[in-house]
């Protein structure tokens, strides 16, 4: 059952199926005040006026649906309210949900949230991980290696973060924990040469998946972005079908800057998906919806905790449902 | 550079106002909406925005403003004052203990930049106070976190106390402090593991460490790209640990850094430092008033001047001033100047600190490759000493030789000589206080005038410093 069927059900008053309740744990903390907030908003306003829209806008922004989305939504609501001549806030609630359905329903269709692997004839699958400093690239690589190994795949890691202090040791430690070999050179060496060696070894040992960890870089540093481009070029030269995935690792607490990150990393490396990390905190990561609307890059993995198995395949329906749960459940109140 | 998006938007909001002689209440309302949206888009917490806009509106609608001759300027001033007030009035220095050691504890989310900041802070303390800090590695959770601190410690020449990953962080801190007492270290910096403010177990551990160490300073390290969650994070850590200050990292990215505005407002705790680069000396003091100026597109001349003063070797500066006076600004000086400018940071960042540059459309895509400077240097290095001192010697034949010698195309040599001549002309002009031909650079209107004022004050200050230096040098000689 899709998200929007569920929303409609919420309106018609049909009971929820128990399975929809399962997905919540990771996002539990982030949503608690959302419905309260909406109720408070509606309680505060007897009529629908400019202040009401300002407050609504702020509430949506606070819910992390992304700045642009919030403004678009409120603007179109203004129109709608004029057209339908709605006076009471309670009636507006209905329009809000309708608008959310319109906004997200279409952008989410035909979205591909699965990771792609190479065919048997193409040699090893290569995943390239990119992102800003401290997003969680190395940790994601470590966790994913563990999961792939559990699935019976042979995995090789490439330590291309030769810049940050201790980054190579960090990946090697993950390699030890996961029982997975790591290709590394000394700190300060050219990351492109590391990836070259790694691809060569991956081909020679016939491994299934090569995970390439890169150094964190801010997206406005031209020369560092060029370095990333070079890493990718080396991979493509050695394995024309690779990398099968270029994953942008994104911290869920990031604000509007995430859009700039997605745009600029996409320009350099043509990202195929997003890994949304640290979703167990207060960050709700609503910005990925804005990214989805603008760049059509889907989220493929979500980090929901510190444990090895807390990296999960991302389910957009559940995520959106988690974000708007308060909004969906409460209009009748 | 942080915040330039915000300045762009605010200036757009004001450009409408500026054209009018008189401002109506409806005008104020419109521009307030722009300010509000700009702040929200910049990730400033919605609650902070609300209060901010309310305050500005109240002051702006006052009769005085509407009837004054230049209402737009008045509103700019109100916004500026309010921004400064929101971010805290003045720069707040590091807390110090009356007896050594001063204990500093770093806390924050995962990946905020705690360990890097530890390194930068140590380097700063060593450079400015000749301090002898000890670093305590209390992150036993993340793989290779201790290795990272050790590498960082080594690069800035500071010892690291560690007990591996099998010891409880509380015990590590206890023994680390004992060692610091033994070695009479004057600073102890504790690097803790990243954690979520809602992680009860790990937050208790931090509270315990606080009880053991009684730190003089608990610095919360926050990623400047953080969105609305920034206030939750700051509040969470503050309520539990009563933090004493904030370090804002990764401000060299293109984030608008609204978190800076919110955190101070929500926690009441000052932002003490900002991290703006990957190098170990890229840690600056946070000046709320300067940041407010930057937001309004008035440039950050004070920071620029500070940077220049730090990096400009005094003796070299005097020598150069003398030469400029005699109009003998030659290639040797050009080389010097470039080296000094380079040591201030990436060129595009410095350019954007100049008023009017931040939202100059021509500057939008301005990127300077660090290699360009290297190439220019190569060309100068290919000159004979005579050529360096007498640039007029450079005829086409000599230029061809320079091109071959430096391995750069001849057009680049020509361009570089052209740049040198322009630079020479400008240096002479600036020292005479003549800004003709530079108006375009500053833009027109209020902004342009503000920019010129700032530029003038910088030149005045530089001149004053120069005089002081010259006088000093004379006294010294006699």
- One DSSP character per residue, B140-178 reads -SSTTHHHHHHHHHHHHT--EE---SSS-HHHHHHHHHH
Could you list the mean pLDDT of each consecutive 10-residue stretch along chain B, which spans 478 residues? 50 62 69 78 82 83 57 68 79 86 93 92 92 93 90 92 90 93 93 90 93 93 87 90 92 78 86 88 83 57 51 59 61 72 64 58 58 83 84 87 90 86 72 51 48 56 51 47
- Asked if residue B352 lies in contact with residue B362, where contact means CB atoms within 8 angstroms, the answer is no
Give the angle B211-B212-B216 at the CA atoms, nearest 5°: 75
**HEC profile of B178-196:** HHHHHHCCCEEEEEECCCC
Pair A60, A200 in one domain: no
- A169, A251, A67, A236: which is closest to B194 by C-alpha? A251
A/B interface, count of CB pairs below 8 Å = 155
- Asked if residue A158 lies in contact with residue A203, where contact means CB atoms within 8 angstroms, the answer is no
Nearest to A219 among B110, B141, B254 (CB): B254
Q: What ipTM goes with this model?
A: 0.78
pLDDT at B446: 47
Pair A178, A247 in one domain: yes
- Asked if residue B266 lies in contact with residue B51, where contact means CB atoms within 8 angstroms, the answer is no
Q: Could you say which DSSP state residue A16 is in? A: P
- Contact: A222, B367; criterion CB under 8 Å: yes
Domain span(s) for CATH 1.20.120.140 in chain B: 4-86
Pair A38, A178 in one domain: no
The residue whose two tokens read 């608990």 is B218
- Contact: A163, B42; criterion CB under 8 Å: no
- Contact: A253, B229; criterion CB under 8 Å: yes
A 10 A CB-CB count for B348 gives 16
Question: What domain range is A156 assigned to?
Answer: 120-314
pLDDT at A32: 46
Pair A94, A230 in one domain: no
Q: Determine which of A166, A226, A264 to mutate to test the interface with B (most B C-beta atoms within 10 Å).
A: A166
Question: Which chain B residues contact residue A26 at CB under 8 A?
Answer: none
Residues B311, A195: Cα–Cα separation, whole Å: 38
- Contact: B42, A256; criterion CB under 8 Å: yes
CATH number assigned to the domain with residue range B301-477, chosen from the 4 options 3.60.15.10, 2.40.370.10, 3.90.700.10, 1.10.260.30? 1.10.260.30
Q: What is the pLDDT along chain A (333 residues), one digit of tens a residue?
A: 444 454 444 444 444 443 344 344 444 444 444 556 666 667 776 666 777 777 777 777 776 666 777 787 788 778 877 777 766 666 777 677 667 666 666 656 666 777 888 777 778 899 999 999 989 999 999 999 999 999 999 999 999 999 888 899 999 999 998 899 999 998 888 999 999 999 999 989 989 999 999 999 998 888 889 999 999 999 999 888 888 999 999 998 888 888 889 889 999 998 999 998 888 776 666 777 778 777 888 888 888 887 788 888 877 666 666 666 555 554 443
The answer to the question of residue A140 being in a domain is yes
- Domain CATH code at residue A103: 1.20.120.140
The answer to the question of residue A131 being in a domain is yes
> What is the CATH class of B102-295?
alpha beta
Pair A261, A295 in one domain: yes
Structural domain count of chain A:
2
The answer to the question of residue A18 being in a domain is no
- Asked if residue A287 lies in contact with residue B227, where contact means CB atoms within 8 angstroms, the answer is yes
- Asked if residue B402 lies in contact with residue B383, where contact means CB atoms within 8 angstroms, the answer is yes
Token pair of B399, please? 């230029």
pLDDT at B263: 87
Nearest to B111 among A67, A136, A171 (CB): A136
Pair A207, A285 in one domain: yes
Single pTM value for the model: 0.71
pLDDT at A122: 73
CATH code that applies to domain B4-86? 1.20.120.140
Pair A169, A106 in one domain: no
pLDDT at B315: 57
- Domain CATH code at residue A127: 3.40.50.300
Pair A150, A74 in one domain: no
């Amino acid at each position: 059952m899709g998200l929007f069927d569920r929303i409609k059900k919420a309106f018609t008053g049909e009971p929820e199926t128990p399975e929809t309740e399962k997905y919540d744990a990771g996002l539990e903390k982030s949503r608690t005040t959302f419905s309260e907030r909406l109720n408070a908003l509606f309680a505060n306003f007897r009529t629908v006026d400019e202040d009401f829209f300002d407050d609504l806008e702020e509430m949506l922004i606070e819910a992390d649906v992304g700045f642009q989305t919030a403004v678009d939504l409120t603007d179109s609501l203004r129109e709608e309210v004029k057209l339908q001549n709605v006076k009471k806030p309670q009636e507006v609630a209905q329009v809000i949900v309708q608008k959310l359905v319109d906004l997200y329903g279409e952008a989410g269709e035909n979205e591909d949230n699965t990771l792609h692997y190479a065919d048997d004839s193409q040699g090893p699958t290569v995943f390239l991980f990119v992102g800003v400093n401290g997003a969680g690239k190395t940790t994601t690589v470590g966790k994913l290696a563990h999961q792939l190994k559990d699935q019976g795949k042979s995995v090789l890691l490439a330590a291309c973060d030769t810049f940050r202090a201790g980054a190579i040791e960090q990946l090697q430690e993950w390699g030890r924990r996961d029982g997975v070999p790591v290709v590394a050179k000394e700190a300060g060496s050219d990351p492109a040469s590391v990836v070259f060696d790694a691809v060569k070894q991956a081909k020679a040992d016939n491994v299934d998946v090569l995970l390439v960890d890169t150094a964190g870089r801010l997206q406005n540093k031209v020369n560092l972005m060029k370095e990333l481009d070079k890493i990718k070029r080396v991979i493509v030269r050695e394995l024309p079908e690779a990398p099968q995935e270029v994953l942008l690792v994104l911290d869920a607490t990031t604000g509007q800057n995430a859009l700039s990150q997605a745009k600029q990393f996409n320009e350099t490396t043509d990202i195929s998906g997003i890994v949304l990390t640290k979703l167990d905190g207060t960050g709700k990561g609503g910005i990925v919806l804005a990214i989805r609307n603008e760049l059509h890059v889907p989220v493929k993995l979500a980090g929901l905790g510190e444990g090895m198995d807390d990296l999960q395949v991302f389910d957009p329906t559940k995520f959106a449902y988690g974000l708007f749960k308060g909004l969906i459940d409460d209009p009748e109140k | 550079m942080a915040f330039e998006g915000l300045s762009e938007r605010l200036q757009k909001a004001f450009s409408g106002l500026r054209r009018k002689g008189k401002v109506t209440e409806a005008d104020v309302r419109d521009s307030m909406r722009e300010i509000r949206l700009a702040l929200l888009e910049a990730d400033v917490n919605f609650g902070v925005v609300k209060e901010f806009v309310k305050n500005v509106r109240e002051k702006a609608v006052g009769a005085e403003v509407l009837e004054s001759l230049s209402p737009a300027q008045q509103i700019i001033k109100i916004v500026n004052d309010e921004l400064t007030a929101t971010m805290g009035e003045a720069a707040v220095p590091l807390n110090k203990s009356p007896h050594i050691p001063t204990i500093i504890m770093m806390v924050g989310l995962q990946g905020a930049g705690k360990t890097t900041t530890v390194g930068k802070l140590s380097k700063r303390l060593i450079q400015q106070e000749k301090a002898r800090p000890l670093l305590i590695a209390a992150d036993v959770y993340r793989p290779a976190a201790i290795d990272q601190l050790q590498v960082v410690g080594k690069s800035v020449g500071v010892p690291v106390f560690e007990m591996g990953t099998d010891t409880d962080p509380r015990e590590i801190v206890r023994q680390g402090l004992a060692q610091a007492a033994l070695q009479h270290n004057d600073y102890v910096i504790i690097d803790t593991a990243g954690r979520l403010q809602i992680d009860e177990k790990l937050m208790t551990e931090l509270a315990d460490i606080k009880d053991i160490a009684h730190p003089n300073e608990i610095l919360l390290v926050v990623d400047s790209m953080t969105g609305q969650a920034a206030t939750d994070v700051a509040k969470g850590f503050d309520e539990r640990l009563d933090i004493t200050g904030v370090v804002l990292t990764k401000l060299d990215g293109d984030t608008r850094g609204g978190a800076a505005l919110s955190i101070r407002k929500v926690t009441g705790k000052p932002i003490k430092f900002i991290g703006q680069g990957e190098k170990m000396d890229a840690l600056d003091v946070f000046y709320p008033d300067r940041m407010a100026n930057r937001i309004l597109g008035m440039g950050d001349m004070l920071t620029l001047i500070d940077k220049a003063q730090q990096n400009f070797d005094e003796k070299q500066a005097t020598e150069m001033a003398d030469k400029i006076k005699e109009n003998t600004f030659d290639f040797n000086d050009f080389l010097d100047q470039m080296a000094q400018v380079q040591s201030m940071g990436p060129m595009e960042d410095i350019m954007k600190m100049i008023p009017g540059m931040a939202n100059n459309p021509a500057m939008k895509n301005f990127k300077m490759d660090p290699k360009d400077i290297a190439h220019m240097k190569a060309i100068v290095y290919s000159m004979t000493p005579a050529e360096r001192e007498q640039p007029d010697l450079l005829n086409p034949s000599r230029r061809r030789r320079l091109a071959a010698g430096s391995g750069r195309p001849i057009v680049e040599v020509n361009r570089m000589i052209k740049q040198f001549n322009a630079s020479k002309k400008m240096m002479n002009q600036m020292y005479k206080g003549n800004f003709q031909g530079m108006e375009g650079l500053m833009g027109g209107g209020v902004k342009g005038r503000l920019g010129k004022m700032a530029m003038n004050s910088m030149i005045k200050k530089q001149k004053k410093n120069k005089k002081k230096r010259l006088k000093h040098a004379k006294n010294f000689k006699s």
